[in-house]
Structure 1
Amino acid sequence: MWQRLRSPIERVAYYTTALGREVLPHPYWRAQWERWLARLGQDGIAPETAERLAYYNKLEEGASAAAAPRLRDMSHKPSYYYYDLRRFASAFDRELQLGYVFGDVNFVPAIPSVVKSRPIGNGNTNGVLMKLDRLRHYRWPQDSLPFEQKAPRAVWRGVLNTEARRRLVELYGGHTAFDIGHVQTGVEGVAPKARLSIPQQLASRYIISLEGNDVATNLKWIMTSNSLCLMPRPRYETWFMEGALVPGRHYAELRADLSDLEETVAHYERHPEEARRIISEAHAHVARFADTRREALLSFLVLQKYFECTGQMERRPLVTTA
């Protein structure tokens, strides 16, 4: 929870913008989206955009949304999820049916549903990814400190809501060369440590990322920094495409039992050029999400494809074959 919300100014700006969009009528948003579709019809979809659309929305024609609620009945809670989805759903008829599951989703929904997160792998088609709860998850802190000038230690802070996190603290919480600890009170046998801000963590060369209820919240900001991300292979993915990350290319892989943390840090201390290369590839992955116009276009396309594949809108080969 300590990382969950941003500053009051950012929250006020978020809600002010969101509520302002609510005032504008559906025809305004529909006309805007039709203009985008017309331009796409002339220029086509860029390969990068088509690749990501296919990644986020794996539905095929014949999918059913018969059991899904109508857009006009969309839940307003949690509000971050509602407004992030409503921003793009406003372009579509309110009588259309759209499945959605708000919150941390670590399962595949029974019906095609928009989700923030889903399990990685085959069989997750019903989980249609969109960029939800973005105020919490999509933060890109500035890091001006080069890798070599950071402290040669591994750092982690968080809550002990998984076995992997508890194991990390039990194994390395007392390690003098690392700064690893949890921030919960009332945890038997494992004393908490002081919270660390993101800038404080960025003073270390190695930052550990461990999944919680679903994805690891800190993964995105670690990969935009000049620190090296250490983590086991992820099990869940979001709009950030965690399932497309390659160990040894985008992050330094740890064993599932975390028993190799010391040797992993020692390896990259001996081979800093490898660490710098991985950090550079991590930055390249983060850069895929920097174009705000493409991010908005993809969000519209994910919903357009959903409604086409569930037979609620006329099929446009431009979208459904992507």
Structure 2
Amino acid sequence: MGDSIIYKLKSGKPNKFLNFLSGFAGLAIPDAFFRQRLQGLLAQAPKHPDYDYIRKRVDYYIKTNQPFHVSDTNRLTRERSWIYYTGRIGDYTRKMFHTAYFFDQHDVTRWFPKCFRWNFCPGDVYFTPDTPTVVKSRLLTGDNSNSVILKLDKLRHFMFVRDTIPFRQKKDMAIFRGKIRQSRVRTKFLEMFFHHPMFDCGVVGRNEGCPDEWMREKKTIREHLDYKFIMALEGNDVASNLKWVMSSNSLAVMTRPTCETWFMEGTLVAGYHYVEVKEDFSDLPEKLQYYIEHPEQAEDIIRHAHEYVRQFQDKERENLISLMVLDKYFRLSGQQ
């Protein structure tokens, strides 16, 4: 099921072509312009009114405070949904992995000398590397301090919506549209609720081995907003729709996160920022019915979700945090 031009225009998602066009145009600016400004920007950081908050975010993304060494041996390992790269930041090229990841990392690495070395693992990462490595996502179990989070795949993950439909005026149903991606959670959900009257759900894209009846046409983000509940189910790693769902007037419904990204999913509080259900989904219909009957509590969660989302919408501060994360990475590796 390829996306039609009409769907792409109405989907509500950012335009990838325009984003890439802007990225290519940005390459015309010499990196030296950014490098000469870096130290002044970092020196001014402690004077920022939100410095304590910024410092806390930086330490959350790069948890380790122990010195480490980046191997002098170049490495490039390819897997289905990610690659592992060890080498100079200046030698990481667009052709190595998805273009979106190239532009997102380049927005930050161009502020640093090209000779600096790093371990970089872009893509859907569902393991903890053996050495400090920059990733988009990390596990929320065990010692995950080797996973250093940077804001990557921003166009897909960090989009928000302006929802004008009040919660009480939405359909008393939950919606799910997504790919299976060999996800045990998504498969279990569809097995249980595909025919349930409280759910409008289906698989989009290519059939990856699911029953044919599960295949459905995509719905635009605007069409999702007609529903009181939007399922945010993890695929390879995190649920990519969680950010825009939490900026809407619908409730995000999901099992407890097992991975996190720059959105700090590990700090979300069940029943305060989102509706949490059991991994076997046995309490899902009951939870939906409860918030249908108690809309004031649903609206409290939506308000808290909006407050949480706002912390990621200050572009200048987000840029500073990104630079401080990478600066800490290079300092601990003895390069800065």
TM-score (norm 1): 0.91
- 2-structure distance, mates of 1:18, 1:6: 20
Give the aligned length.
Answer: 312
- How far apart in 1 are the matches of 2:276 and 2:52? 29
The corresponding residue for 1:246 is 269
Counterpart residue number, 2:168? 148
Per-residue deviation, 1:14: 1.9
1:163 aligns with 2:191: no
Deviation at 1:88, TM superposition (A): 1.1
Q: Residue 323 of structure 2 corresponds to which residue in structure 1?
A: 300
Specify the alignment match of 1:35 in structure 2: 40
Q: CA deviation at 1:2?
A: 7.7
Please name the residue that 2:197 is paired with. Answer: 176
Indicate the residue corresponding to 2:23 in structure 1. 18
Sequence identity, in percent?
A: 36
**CA separation of 1:19 and 1:192: change in aligned 2, threshold 3 A:** closer
Q: Which runs of 5+ in 1 are unaligned?
A: 314-322
Partner of 1:70: 88
Instruction: Give the letter aligned to residue 241 of structure 2.
Output: N
Q: How much has 1:298 moved relative to structure 2?
A: 0.7
**How far did 1:66 drift?**
2.4
- Distance in structure 1 (CA, Å) of the matches to 2:127 and 2:301: 30
Amino acid at match of 1:239: W
1:57–1:6: structure 2 CA closer, same or farther, 3 Å change rule?
farther
Matching residue within 208, 211, 220 for 2:234: 211
The residue aligned with 1:266 is 289
Partner Cα separation in structure 2 for residue 214 and residue 40 of structure 1:
32
Q: How far apart, in 2, do the equivalents of 1:6 and 1:298 lie? A: 32
SS for the counterpart of 1:160 is coil
CA RMSD of aligned residues (A): 2.2
How far residue 109 of structure 1 moved from its aligned partner, in angstroms, is 1.4
Instruction: Give how far 1:107 is off.
Output: 0.8
1:139-169: CA deviation from partner (whole Å, max 9, x where unpaired): 1121100000001111111122212111111
2:14 and 2:156 map into 1 onto residues whose CA distance is 14
Partner of 1:286: 309
Change (3 A) 1:310 1:105: same
Provide the rounded CA distance (Å) in 1 between the counterparts of 2:144 and 2:221.
32
Distance of 2:233 and 2:196 partners within structure 1 = 18
The alignment partner of 1:69 has SS state of strand
Aligned amino acid, residue 222 of structure 2: P
Instruction: Give structure 2 stretches of 5+ with no counterpart.
Output: 73-85
How many angstroms does 1:136 deviate by? Answer: 1.0
CA gap 1:122/1:53 in 2 versus in 1, 3 angstroms? farther
Identify the range of structure 1 (76-85 vs 41-50) with the bigger mean alpha-carbon deviation.
41-50
